[in-house]
Structure 1
Amino acid sequence: MEENVNLSTVIDAVCQEKNIQRDVLIDTVEQAVATAAKRVFADREIEASFDLDTGNVNLFQVLYVVDKVELAMREISVEQARRAGLEAEVGDELLFQIFYLEEDHKQAEAQAKQYPEIPALQKVNTAFGRIAAQTAKQVIIQRVREAERENLYDRYKDKKGELMTGIVRRFERGSIVVEVDNGRAEAILPSRDQVPRESLRPGDRIVAYVKDVDKSARGPQIILSRTHKGLVEKLFEHEVPEIFEGIVRIEACAREPGARSKIAVSSRDRDVDPVGACVGMRGSRVQAVVQELRGEKIDIVPFDEDPARFVCNAIQPAQVSRVLIDAERHTMELVVPDDKLSLAIGKKGQNVRLASRLTGWRIDIHSQSKIREMERRSRAEMAAIPGVGRDLAAHMFDLGWRSLRDLAVANVDELAQVVGSADAADDIIDTANDAASGKIELEVVYDVEDDDDDHDSAPASPGGDG
């Protein structure tokens, strides 16, 4: 190894400082030096062993005892072994040290003179000493880096899904490097996990959600997020003791980072109001969360096992007059007063979009006047079917057949009970099917008040913008 440097001392110091197992580091050094030696002594079978006393990695070449030598640098005949004073039989393995260090040059010469019958011991390469030293240095540095990463991963892998407080240090290609755990580690806040409206500068304190701890990452292993819905949930868990204790539970959360969030909460204790617990005295708890999210608005709604009630709660602050459920399409149509339509939809559809994500239902919102108009038109279209008329159309509408498409897929037996016969039911279904598919055009007579078709409605689906 390098002059005046004992590798054993270096390994001890590194192991103690970086918390690396000594045996592991020694084994790594042995393997690295053996690999380098096999490139230099390509025609030989090499083994490496670390010498704890000298601090060097000793190399040994293996010679196989055979009847007839074909590879002079790897084999030795029984006759050669006997002439060299060695007791050996075919199949034995003989180990001879390779003296590659400059200070061991005399030992190499002495070994060559001692065994003149063995060609593999006659060549000495002292240049490998510098290669071995450099290899050992590189592998120790590399192993230290790997150990630091492993220790970092082991220390923080259980932090995934938790909150972490840090200080913004620098910007790298759009990402923000954050110093966490009082400077013990660095985390990264990727650009995709940053809130667009937030302006962060070096030295700013931030609280972020630990999205992942990536063992294979080249840079910082701790991946943070300011946009994940888990940030809202964990902030409430920190601010609301009832959530931390499990009395109040966050059932669902939907978020548009930087703008608005909705959370649905329930309580295991009838005496504890889940919404009130999250709001706090004079709004203190929810305001603490809003402040940490830098002004993001938060709606807290009660969870309900009944999907219709849950959707009505989720669309708050708007009030719902009526709910129409289509279970097959997993859709709900909400009817709201005309003057509350804009409130229900929200700015650029935000309220209905968040409510849809929160509940998992596709939501269509209509004003009362719009629904009345749609119902009048549907009844008029159904009344235009030969043999139906307005009274029967109104009766079928009240029973659940609310459009031509509903009649087109109606059950014949069920419809026959309403219209009087199976033949009449078949005719109505066939006509409705043809009209709904555009094959025929019915002569529909609308009331004068039905001509106004200038009312708003808004759909939303759980996956995103509706």
Structure 2
Amino acid sequence: MAITSANQLELLQTAEAVAREKLIDPELVVQAMEDSLARAAKSRYGADMDIRVHIDRKTGRAQFTRIRTVVADEEFENHHAQMTVAQAKQFMADPQIGDELKDDVPPVELGRIAAQSAKQVILQKVREAERDRQFDEFKDRVGTIINGQVKREEYGNIIVDIGRGEGILRRNEKIGRESYRPNDRIRCFIKDVRREARGPQVFLSRTAPDFMAALFKMEVPEIYDGIIEIKAVARDPGSRAKIAVISYDNSIDPVGACVGMRGSRVQAVVNELQGEKIDIIPWNEDQATFLVNALQPAEVSKVVIDEDAARIEVVVPDEQLSLAIGRRGQNVRLASQLTGLDIDIMTESDESARRQAEFAERTNLFMEALDIDEMMAQLLVAEGFTNLEEVAYVEIDELLSIDGFDEGTATELQARARDRIEAANQAALDNARALGVEDSLIDFEGLTPQMIEALAKDGIKTLEDFATCADWELAGGWTSVNGQRVKDDGILEPFEMSLEEAQTMIMTARVLLGWVDPAELEAEAEEEPADDEDDA
């Protein structure tokens, strides 16, 4: 079939029909037709030729054009599609590199094979345009709720008709043991949209915490208007959830607004989530207060926060322990997710027993080290003394403030404490030297004899060894393994060394060894405040 013998308007009518069916721009279909006709023409005239086709958007007439580009002599490779400047002078007055010479060529006869090839090109281009349209439509809707209709189930995954495309609800994104039949209506959260080889994939979820937040945004006008903000959400899908909210208007109770009149608002969310119980908690900047709220309905007696370890210790009455932990640890687990802290729960009796054990341990320490009786040792512990260093180097007035301590007693206690510390230091140094520690490490400022001994036991015996350490190797730290926080013990962590102190000491060692230029450190230190100001 020759293009000239066909109804030329039929091309445009076909393009309009395909574009309308696939919901894409007709111009993309026409361009696909142009590409397919150009490919057919190359198969007829030669693959080395640069042939382009233009279809008139009004008449449908296809014009075939051969293009030859002017190139430099050293770049001339294809005489079918290129010309040198000298050759171009035969056709142009003043040819320049990059100019194009266009010659019309006769339309091609489309045989069966060429027509089939042209059809495949058009279908491929249309599919690509359709995929781009779907991706562009849904990529901006990530994080929103969409209503769809169940089409089918594949290996536990639900394929959902979401209008101009399909979404997939994986079985691990369904709530509990939800089951759906074809044509059921379903509401999902658009979790992610990705480009893949088989086209854009829209991943849906009903278990994402953001799904609950989006449902509350739909049900509570104050959240939609920004008067109330959802600060955190923790879910055990299909069972229980906790949501933390804060109000920026003092006249509006955030919890009451989310609950609604007679619980109408929260009940609408509960019904959508298959009866999932929801605890609505007022958010607070103070971590301890927020945690007390998050552990509701359990009562909390005491909270101790370890900010460095991002852990929190909670003391509850003995009869409240099971309520605080919840069934299978659900309550404390959700509270941990909500606050972002690891939570240790103990009863008042457990905490009392631990305090008594610590009191007895410190009492025995002072009795043995200072050679004093139990009553005097208990007085020191009761006043807050925890180690020999505090006794040895504290102002003597603090010892004199203890009932029954006179100046002679205080002076004698300090002398005994210092003698015991010096003896322990000497023993630690002797042990370190026996392990092979060099003087370069012993003389390094900031390391106590006990620290040097601990380093030696770990194989760090020279200043060079020390300078190659990482800060967390000395001070310890936390890493995440499979979503769980795991403790990394530091060599000098028992001596309460912080990460900042470890960094400073390691850098000082590197400067002493000549590994680092002090001028560079000063320059970096001067740049950091400037960077902070820019960030602010």
For 1:392-411, what aligned pairs fall within 5 Å after superposition?
A: 392-393=377-378, 396=381, 399=384, 401=386, 407=387
* CA RMSD, 1 decimal: 4.3
Deviations 1:389-435 (Å, cap 9, x if unpaired)?
4664575467485xxxxx5998985698668638627847969x89x
Q: 1:217 to 1:208 in 2, by over 3 A?
A: farther
Matched residue of 1:421: which SS? Answer: helix
Q: How much has 1:47 moved relative to structure 2? A: 1.4
Structure of higher RCO (CA pairs closer than 8 Å, 6+ residues apart): 1
Is the aligned partner of 1:30 residue 2:34?
yes
> For 1:358 and 1:422, how far apart are their aligned partners in 2?
52
Matched AA of 1:281: M
Is the aligned partner of 1:159 residue 2:141?
yes
Is the aligned partner of 1:9 residue 2:13?
yes
Q: Give the match for residue 343 of structure 1.
A: 323
Deviations 1:315-351 (Å, cap 9, x if unpaired)?
1111001112222222211111111101111111111
Q: Give the match for residue 123 of structure 2.
A: 141
Matched residue of 1:34: which SS? Answer: helix
Is the aligned partner of 1:47 residue 2:40?
no
Choose from 156, 166, 169 the match for 1:174.
156
Is the aligned partner of 1:368 residue 2:348?
yes
Structure 2 runs not aligned, ≥5 long: 400-409, 426-449, 455-480, 487-536
Q: How much has 1:365 moved relative to structure 2? A: 0.1
Deviations 1:232-253 (Å, cap 9, x if unpaired)?
1111112222222222221111
Matched AA of 1:167: Q
Deviations 1:243-284 (Å, cap 9, x if unpaired)?
222222211111121221111111112222211222222222
Q: Which shows bigger deviation, 212-221 or 270-279?
A: 212-221
> For 1:192 and 1:267, how far apart are their aligned partners in 2?
34
1:353–1:462 contact (8 Å) kept in structure 2? no
Q: Give the match for residue 287 of structure 1.
A: 267
Q: Give the match for residue 191 of structure 1.
A: 171
Q: Give the match for residue 58 of structure 1.
A: 64
> For 1:44 and 1:462, how far apart are their aligned partners in 2?
56
Matched AA of 1:150: D
For 1:58-457, what aligned pairs fall within 5 Å after superposition?
A: 58=64, 60=66, 62=68, 97-99=104-106, 101-102=108-109, 129-180=111-162, 183-216=163-196, 218=198, 221-385=201-365, 386=368, 387=370, 389=374, 392-393=377-378, 396=381, 399=384, 401=386, 407=387, 413=393, 421=414, 424=417, 427=420
> For 2:327 and 2:139, how far apart are their aligned partners in 1?
40
Q: Give the match for residue 121 of structure 1.
A: none
Matched residue of 2:140: which SS? Answer: helix
How many residues are treated as equivalent by the alignment? 403
Q: 1:391 to 1:188 in 2, by over 3 A?
A: farther
> For 2:183 and 2:375, how far apart are their aligned partners in 1?
73
Q: How much has 1:21 moved relative to structure 2? A: 4.3
> For 1:338 and 1:351, how far apart are their aligned partners in 2?
16
> For 1:400 and 1:348, how far apart are their aligned partners in 2?
40
Deviations 1:301-326 (Å, cap 9, x if unpaired)?
11111111111111111100111222
Deviations 1:196-232 (Å, cap 9, x if unpaired)?
4322232332221111233446356432111110111
Q: 1:284 to 1:9 in 2, by over 3 A?
A: closer
Q: 1:344 to 1:101 in 2, by over 3 A?
A: same
> For 2:388 and 2:271, how far apart are their aligned partners in 1?
55
1:379–1:390 contact (8 Å) kept in structure 2? no
Structure 1 runs not aligned, ≥5 long: 103-127, 402-406, 438-460
Q: 1:218 to 1:174 in 2, by over 3 A?
A: farther
Matched AA of 1:160: V
2:131–2:200 contact (8 Å) kept in structure 1? no
> For 1:15 and 1:351, how far apart are their aligned partners in 2?
55
Q: Give % identity.
A: 43
Matched AA of 1:232: M
Q: Which shows bigger deviation, 360-369 or 4-13?
A: 4-13
Q: Give the match for residue 445 of structure 1.
A: none
Deviations 1:100-137 (Å, cap 9, x if unpaired)?
634xxxxxxxxxxxxxxxxxxxxxxxxx6444433332
2:68–2:83 contact (8 Å) kept in structure 1? no
> For 1:398 and 1:95, how far apart are their aligned partners in 2?
99
Q: How much has 1:372 moved relative to structure 2? A: 1.1
Matched AA of 1:141: L
What's the TM-score, normalizing by structure 2? Answer: 0.63
